């Protein structure tokens, strides 16, 4: 018997295939005068993200129906729709214009933007989710630093990958007065849940 996760993935595959987007390769983009690479749409667990939303609701300091959600590397937009169905205002951003156009058709109640996440303004978002948007630790670190600089205090990151730089910052003893560990018994799978406080992030595991 197919699980709900498998049913959703089959539907996504069908929609992507119908629009010749099932086998998209790595996505080149220009950044600081160089050609970098972004990943194509890579599916991650919907169940783990829904579990993370439960934890976020208790840590965010506001109800989810007042929260602004953003997915970086949204692809077809399924995670944005999950966020919208929990009550959040949901926005997705992607490097590939074809993904954005398709997401707007499939999930018209969400907002989708064709943009480079390394140049986006994050000042209005409460929750940012991403899986593996870029090749290379340096680009992931640049994204993290931009998020650290721009996200409001108390905002949350839900991610599967963090840079060695952020790992070191979270583990540094001198940073202990700037973040706290958010303990949870909820199964988050590969997801890491981070909360920005005083210019740092707290981490849930």
Superfamily of domain 4-204: Vaccinia Virus protein VP39 (3.40.50.150)
Secondary structure letter of residue 152 according to DSSP: P
Q: Give the rounded distance of the alpha carbon of 162 from its chain centre.
A: 12
Distance (Å, rounded) from C-alpha 145 to C-alpha 127? 16
Residue 105 has φ and ψ, to the nearest 5°, of -80, -40
Summarize pLDDT for 31-44 with one digit per residue, the tens: 666 666 665 666 77
pTM of structure: 0.86
Summarize pLDDT for 89-124 with one digit per residue, the tens: 999 999 889 999 999 999 999 999 999 999 999 999
| Residues β-bridged to residue 92 | 71, 112
Nearest residue to 68 (alpha-carbon basis) of 24, 110, 15: 110
Distance (Å, rounded) from C-alpha 50 to C-alpha 31? 33
Low-confidence ranges of the chain (pLDDT < 50): 1-2, 176-180, 205
């Amino acid at each position: 018997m197919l699980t709900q996760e498998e049913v959703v993935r089959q539907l996504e595959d069908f929609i992507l295939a119908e629009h010749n987007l099932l086998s998209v390769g790595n996505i080149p983009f220009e950044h600081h005068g160089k050609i970098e690479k972004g990943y194509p749409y890579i599916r991650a667990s919907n169940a783990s993200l829904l579990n993370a939303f439960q934890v976020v609701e208790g840590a965010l300091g506001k109800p989810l129906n007042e929260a602004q959600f953003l997915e970086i590397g949204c692809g077809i937009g399924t995670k944005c729709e999950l966020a919208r169905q929990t009550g959040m205002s949901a926005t997705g951003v992607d490097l590939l214009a074809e993904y954005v156009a398709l997401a707007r058709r499939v999930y018209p109640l969400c907002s989708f933007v064709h943009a480079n996440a390394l140049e986006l303004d994050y000042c209005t978002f409460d929750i940012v989710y991403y899986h593996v948007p870029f090749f290379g630790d340096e680009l992931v670190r640049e994204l993290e630093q931009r998020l650290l600089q721009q996200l409001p205090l108390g905002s949350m990151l839900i991610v599967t990958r963090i840079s060695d730089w952020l790992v070191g910052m979270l583990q540094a003893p001198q940073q202990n007065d700037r973040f706290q560990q958010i303990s949870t018994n909820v199964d988050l799978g590969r997801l890491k849940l981070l909360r920005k406080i005083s210019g740092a992030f707290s981490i849930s595991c």
